[in-house]
């Protein structure tokens, strides 16, 4: 227990001059002690008390005890308090309490604090509260903090008042705990939370407005951190990082990390990694991981995995797991899966999934599904989805849709779509189109298209295209073309490689007379395997007088099953006089259809056959 002096000491009375800033050396302390000793030997009670306190602080209990007893006998309450401290250090706690009681009754706030703590350690909370309140009401910071701790333990709302009182008097732990209490009252949580999968840092969150508990919490974190509280420095760094003030956040993380806070070292590593300094990040992650931080071990594992150092990555993932971080098992599963070690991947996924890791449950279900075990996959998808995994909700929708249970699949797609899953939004949009709810379909297709889905952009463009009014006729001059929203979505889908959108953009370009643009989009679609693109490109080339090249693209389209392309080829060869080749393509067109194409191709085939047999 700390030495508890009293306000009424010789240094406070001015009878001894306090050492100046430039005299804070061993020689200065020796001079002070010598002066105090002379005054004590001359019978000065306060000097005797101060000298006893000096020796007590130095650890010279044998030298301090007679001096403190002598001063106590003369009624010095500071000496009585310090005598209690000395006896407590010797292990005579009951005797110490007796002297603390004497000093406390005489008005010593420090003794009242010590006596309160003595009673609390023995489970006598009423007595503890009485004495701690006496100390706190006299303005003693330690007494106020101990009283707040006692009241908080009981759930008493008055705890905050005394914690604030202690914090205002410079108690750094009180400032930290007051900040924590205010943080819990705020509508957001600025506390640092580790454990991101694969060593990925957390995303920025909300910032408290002025006057909010969260804003006041930051001020108390700052005060505690400025007084050297390492956890307060960590929390302050997290608040600043979420606000985007990364430079100052890094300074506080560094301060906390240097004081031995592993979580701060880990967070500093993430800041450095995001700034592009992976080597420095690795140094801090290593320091944190060696101190038992599982998140830092995961980050090191991810770093080595990215470098292809799989054995080192596995070692750090195991270290994370040993530190109690379930992400370690999940990341081990990912590592094994990348190496096609599926049996081991399943083992690690199961371990993490049973520990409640939702993404591990989803990964396990995917692995089982890929192995053909849909029955085993379903409960893991469900467990992950119910725990909030967006991917699992989407995968569960796919599983049910694959069984033809569209009605069961839709709610899972909707859940994933509500969480921002692009492909799920597309599936909901398709389902709503199928049901005839065009308004809801458009809403979901817009979400999916905005999220980068080319298929959604194409389908959205089709919906808008269907409701587009016919272009107005212009009596004079050329028709003015203004690009519509549906064309913009077609073009977005086409630029992402969507073949049907590319064909559609080509058709729109051809309709406005832009042959070069039309040919470009038809060619892109055709080269990507679109039979309609190849057919339309052939039509465009034929109109431009390049029938031989057109025949090449029609042949590609016909080989892919395009009946009209086969009919065009039959006509080309018939005109050239290559009747047998024309008959062959006409036969193909009859088979491919559609109906009107089959009928025309049949007539052409019969005519060619007659020519051949004539």
The rounded percent of the chain whose pLDDT value lies above 90 is: 82
Whether 389 shows a pLDDT value over 90: the answer reads: yes
CA–CA gap between residue 586 and residue 590 (Å, rounded): 6
Mean pLDDT of 97-103: 95
Does pLDDT of 479 surpass 90? no
* 3-class SS of residue 58: helix
Cα-to-chain-centroid distance, residue 49 = 58
3 state DSSP class of 200 = coil
Of the listed ranges 45-59, 480-494, 547-561, the least confidently predicted one is 480-494
Tell me the C-alpha distance between 142 and 139, whole Å: 9
DSSP E strands: which ranges in 46-112? none
**Residue recorded with tokens 């939702």:** 358
Residue 205 is predicted with a pLDDT of 36
pLDDT in tens, 188-235: 544 444 433 444 333 333 334 444 666 899 999 999 999 999 999 999
Arithmetic mean of pLDDT, 143-166: 94
Q: Does position 438 have pLDDT exceeding 80, yes or no?
A: yes
Question: 486: pLDDT confidence band, cut at 50, 70 and 90?
Answer: very high
pLDDT of 208 reads 41
pLDDT at res. 473: 54
Confidence label for 472 from pLDDT (cuts 50, 70 and 90): low
Q: Is 584 buried (19+), middle (13-18) or exposed (0-12) by CB count in 10 A?
A: middle
The confidence band for 568, taking pLDDT boundaries of 50, 70 and 90, is: very high
Confidence class of residue 14 from pLDDT cuts 50, 70 and 90? very low
Q: pLDDT at position 471, please?
A: 59
Q: What is the DSSP letter of 186?
A: S
Determine the pLDDT at residue 24.
47
pLDDT surpasses 60 at 17:
no
Q: pLDDT value at position 26? A: 56
CA atoms of 362 and 334, how far apart (whole Å): 12
Q: How distant, in Å, are the alpha carbons of 36, 65, 501 from that of 29? A: 10, 20, 87
pLDDT number for residue 398: 95
Residues 557-579: what's their mean pLDDT? Answer: 94
Question: What percent of the chain is predicted at pLDDT more than 70?
Answer: 89
Question: pLDDT digit string (tens) for 122-140?
Answer: 999 999 999 999 999 999 9
Give the pLDDT of residue 611: 83
The stretch 14-38 carries a mean pLDDT of 61
Distance from CA of residue 352 to its chain's centroid? 19
pLDDT of residue 31: 87
Q: Please provide the average confidence, as pLDDT, over all residues in the chain.
A: 89
**Confidence label for 561 from pLDDT (cuts 50, 70 and 90):** very high
Question: What CA–CA distance (Å, rounded) separates 237 from 256?
Answer: 9
Statement: residue 308 has pLDDT above 80: yes
Q: If you average pLDDT over residues 362-368, what whole number do you get?
A: 96
pLDDT digits (tens, 9 = 90+) for 321-360: 999 999 999 999 999 999 999 999 999 999 999 999 999 9
């Amino acid at each position: 227990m700390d030495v508890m002096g009293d306000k009424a000491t010789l240094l406070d009375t001015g009878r001894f001059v306090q050492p100046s800033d430039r005299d804070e050396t061993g020689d200065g302390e020796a001079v002070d002690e010598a002066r105090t000793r002379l005054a004590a030997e001359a019978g000065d009670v306060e000097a005797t008390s101060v000298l006893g306190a000096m020796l007590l602080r130095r650890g010279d209990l044998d030298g301090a005890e007679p001096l403190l007893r002598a001063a106590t006998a003369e009624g010095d309450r500071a000496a009585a308090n310090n005598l209690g401290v000395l006896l407590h250090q010797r292990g005579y706690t009951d005797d110490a309490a007796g002297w603390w009681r004497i000093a406390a009754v005489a008005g010593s706030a420090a003794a009242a604090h010590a006596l309160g703590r003595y009673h609390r350690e023995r489970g006598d909370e009423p007595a503890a509260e009485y004495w701690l309140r006496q100390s706190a009401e006299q303005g003693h910071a330690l007494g106020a903090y101990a009283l707040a701790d006692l009241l908080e333990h009981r759930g008493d709302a008055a705890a905050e008042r005394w914690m604030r009182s202690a914090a205002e008097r410079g108690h750094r732990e009180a400032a930290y705990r007051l900040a924590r209490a205010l943080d819990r009252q705020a509508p957001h949580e600025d506390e640092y939370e580790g454990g991101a999968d694969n060593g990925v840092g957390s995303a920025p969150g909300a910032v408290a407005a002025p006057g909010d508990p969260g804003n006041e919490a930051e001020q108390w974190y700052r005060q505690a951190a400025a007084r050297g509280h390492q956890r307060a420095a960590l929390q302050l760094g997290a608040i600043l990082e979420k606000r985007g003030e990364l430079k100052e956040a890094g300074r506080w993380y560094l301060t906390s990390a240097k004081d031995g806070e592993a979580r701060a070292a880990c967070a500093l590593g993430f800041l450095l990694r995001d700034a592009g300094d992976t080597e420095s990040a690795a140094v801090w992650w290593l320091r944190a991981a060696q101190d038992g931080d599982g998140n830092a071990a995961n980050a090191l594992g991810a770093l080595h995995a990215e470098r292809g150092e799989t054995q080192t990555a596995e070692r750090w993932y195991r270290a994370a797991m040993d530190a109690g971080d379930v992400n370690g098992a999940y990341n081990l599963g990912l590592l094994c899966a990348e190496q096609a070690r599926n049996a081991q991947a399943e083992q690690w996924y199961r371990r993490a999934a049973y520990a409640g890791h939702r993404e591990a449950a989803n990964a396990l279900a995917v692995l089982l599904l890929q192995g053909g075990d849909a029955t085993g996959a379903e409960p893991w998808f469900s467990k992950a989805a119910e725990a909030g995994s967006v991917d699992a909700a989407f995968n569960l929708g796919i599983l049910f849709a694959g069984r033809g249970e569209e009605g069961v699949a839709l709610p899972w797609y909707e859940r994933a779509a509500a969480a921002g899953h692009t492909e799920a939004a597309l599936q909901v949009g398709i389902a709503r189109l199928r049901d005839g709810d065009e308004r809801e379909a458009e809403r979901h297709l817009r979400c999916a298209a905005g999220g980068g889905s080319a298929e959604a952009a194409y389908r959205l463009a089709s919906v808008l295209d269907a409701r587009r009014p016919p272009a107005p006729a212009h009596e004079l001059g050329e028709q003015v073309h203004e690009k519509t929203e549906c064309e913009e979505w077609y073009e977005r889908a086409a630029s992402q490689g969507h073949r049907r959108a590319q064909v559609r953009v080509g058709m729109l370009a051809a309709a406005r007379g832009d042959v070069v643009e039309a040919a470009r989009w038809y060619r892109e679609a055709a080269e990507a395997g679109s039979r309609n693109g190849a057919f339309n490109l052939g039509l465009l080339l034929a109109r431009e007088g390049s029938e031989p090249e057109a025949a090449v693209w029609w042949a590609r389209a016909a080989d892919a099953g395009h009946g009209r392309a086969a009919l065009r080829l039959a006509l080309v060869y018939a005109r050239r006089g290559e009747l047998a080749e024309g008959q062959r393509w006409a036969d193909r067109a009859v088979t491919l259809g559609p109906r009107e194409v089959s009928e025309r191709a049949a007539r052409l085939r019969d005519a060619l056959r007659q020519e051949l047999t004539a």
